[in-house]
Structure 1
């Protein structure tokens, strides 16, 4: 939590959303800015429980602040349902933002493996060409597609800029669109692919988007309702989670 806090106070202040009462929002802004003038607030809104406001930061993280801005909480907030189940309100609040962020990505910047027959569901996968479980998931692509699930791949080279994986992924995304899926599958199989580079590669911008959305490892699955599921999941289990099978 301390690491998150120091990350927050190191970034750049952005604009506000006037969804909270203006005077209270101004107080929150002033208090957080006095703590550090570069706290990157994107929006302030009423929290889903009384007494606090939800502050969304440019990183996608959320703070929960009192109306004067004198106290705030960094972390996840849960609600206990009447049946005893716990609902992660922080995660629920991030889903709509993820859907909006993914909708801004042009299909031609994704590597898409379409469903066989009727498309019943889709998911977006942040992936690395080298990770074991990324390769394991891709080996099941035929099964996943056969269930009516479309898979949309985005790049997430875990080692970051300048890494071998980033260069491999640049080679895939810079290739002719008609060749990308085959090159992607070859790379996932451990085969060497022709080295390519281009000025408009979306690989690192997709990596940065994944970080903002809370991706910390690969594969990371974003379901069509905005739920972020970290890690590998077998095809049959994916189909159940997406509501394609019982």
Structure 2
């Protein structure tokens, strides 16, 4: 009798899973047709019956089971948690081990044991402010992926290439971004276009963007203390 009940329970569970999967697949196809300009990766169930999560790169939205109503945030008022922010942070994580570190300017400070990757634009004022904050950081290796945003800073790509082609990339970057020094025009084989493609692949669309060794991503300026605390988490 127990075996029969167990088999029935397993069958019911599998049937429910299949129906849920079918609903999600159908909803995904419906949304992809309705919003062709948006790259929708997947649709997932949420803890709320009839409400589904829409994942699009690093962005999250929600919809009703018929796809009619779409909303952008979900907060658990009882637990006091912003479920959207938590999920967005999960989707934003980057596999640090897969970053092409050879395409970044490597700045080893002290013992260099800690690591940090940054996507930065040499003409970005926020990147310049971050650079001044990071002066005091030590015992860390900083990998700077130059990501010049042409729409905002037309001359940034030319500057990024010149910095990469300098005999001492770390000093060239520090002088240009940290001190505002003029950059001597240089030309050589460089990874700038590869960096821009990588940023697009990772859905990084602004500078500065910091990546911790565990894959967490933070956009915008942080103070040295905030960086230290963030890396220590």
2:163 aligned with 1:172, yes or no?
Answer: yes
CA contact (8 A) 2:117 2:210 kept: yes
- CA distance in 1 between partners of 2:190 and 2:141 (Å): 28
> Once the 2 structures are TM-superposed, how far is the Cα of residue 116 of structure 1 from its aligned partner?
1.9
Deviations 1:27-84 (A, max 9, x none): 2124214424454221222235443222212x432221223323222x23333364xx
Name the CA shift for 1:88/1:152 in 2 (closer, same or farther; >3 Å): farther
Q: CA RMSD in A?
A: 3.3
Deviations 1:168-199 (A, max 9, x none): 113334x37x7322322232132213322547
> Once the 2 structures are TM-superposed, how far is the Cα of residue 24 of structure 1 from its aligned partner?
0.6
Bigger helix fraction: 2
CA contact (8 A) 1:183 1:193 kept: no
The one of 123, 126, 130 aligned to 1:137: 130
Question: What's the counterpart of residue 50 of structure 2?
Answer: 51
Question: What's the counterpart of residue 21 of structure 2?
Answer: 22
Gaps of 5+ in 2: 1-16
Name the CA shift for 1:35/1:186 in 2 (closer, same or farther; >3 Å): same
Question: What's the counterpart of residue 144 of structure 2?
Answer: 153
Question: What's the counterpart of residue 67 of structure 1?
Answer: 65
2:217 aligned with 1:219, yes or no?
Answer: no
> TM-score if structure 1 supplies the norm length?
0.69
CA contact (8 A) 1:166 1:203 kept: no
CA contact (8 A) 1:187 1:193 kept: no
2:121 aligned with 1:128, yes or no?
Answer: yes
Find the residue that maps to 1:158 and give its secondary structure: coil
- What are the within-5 Å matches in structure 2 for residues 222-237 of structure 1? 222-237=211-226
CA contact (8 A) 2:209 2:220 kept: yes
CA contact (8 A) 1:32 1:69 kept: yes
> TM-score if structure 2 supplies the norm length?
0.72
How many residues are treated as equivalent by the alignment?
214
In our comparison, the structure showing a higher alpha carbon Rg is 2
